[in-house]
Each structure stands twice: as C-alpha cells, then as structure tokens.
C-alpha cells in the first residue's frame, strides 16, 4: 500500500493569538487516534519555527547554509503526517479532515505527495 507525505503548510507569522485552542487540540487528538486505529497514520509531528532552523543549499557548485528565520518565505512547512492509503484520493481525504478541524482564523494547507518506492 502506498505511503504519502502530507506537508502541513502555514504562515508562521500569522497564527491566532494564543496558538491552537483547546478544542482544536482535542479534535486533533481524536483524529490522530482514528487515523492510527484505521492503519492510516504512520507518523506525525510539528516543526519548530524557522527562527530555530537552517537552510542548506547549492548554487553553482557552492554550498551555502542560511540560518532562519527566512524572511522571504511566507508559507512554511509547520508539520507533517506520513500516511498509508490506498491512493492519493484517500490521503487527500484524511488531510482534508485535518484541515477542517482548524478554526477559520487559521491559514493552513496540506500538500499531499506520494513517497517514491513506498
């Protein structure tokens, strides 16, 4: 069965004051439990802000390391889910359920991609 990476993207400079609500955290816990019991959720996690990260890149054969935050980046990967699903449509459906948990003040998206060779 294929595996998928659902990259949870958000604008880390535009989170609701006070962070996630208790209702959102409770809903996420229930959804993660449901996904785990269904055999879909393989792994999930949140990521620290870009201010505590680094970017390693190559251009013209030169390696460069840039410490965060990355001011030119509006939308960042703030978390991830690794899912086991029958197909892309099923992985998208689970990601949609995750997005639906968030209150309207959250600007959030999931990019869902199949993992090669999974």
Indicate the average pLDDT of the chain: 92
CA distance 10 to 25: 17
- Strand 3-10's sheet: what is its strand order? 41-46, 76-84, 3-10, 108-114
Residues 13-57: pLDDT tens digits?
Answer: 788 888 889 999 999 999 999 999 999 999 999 999 889 999 999
Map out the domains of the chain as residue ranges: 3-114
pLDDT of amino acid 15 = 80
Over 80: is that where the pLDDT of 73 sits? no
Higher-confidence residue of 78 and 6: namely 6
CA distance 105 to 40: 28
pTM: 0.88
CATH architecture of the domain covering 3-114:
2-Layer Sandwich (3.30)
* Residue 55 near residue 66, CB atoms below 8 Å: yes
């Amino acid at each position: 069965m294929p595996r998928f990476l659902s990259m949870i993207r958000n604008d880390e400079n535009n989170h609701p004051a006070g962070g996630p609500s208790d209702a959102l955290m409770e809903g996420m816990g229930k959804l993660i439990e449901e996904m785990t019991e269904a055999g879909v959720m393989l792994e999930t996690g949140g990521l620290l802000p870009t201010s505590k990260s680094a970017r390693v890149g190559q251009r013209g054969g030169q390696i460069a390391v840039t410490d965060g935050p990355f001011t030119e980046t509006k939308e960042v990967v703030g978390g991830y889910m690794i899912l086991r699903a029958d197909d892309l449509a099923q992985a998208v459906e689970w990601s949609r359920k995750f997005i639906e948990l968030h209150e309207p003040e959250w600007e959030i998206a999931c990019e869902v991609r199949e993992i090669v060779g999974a």
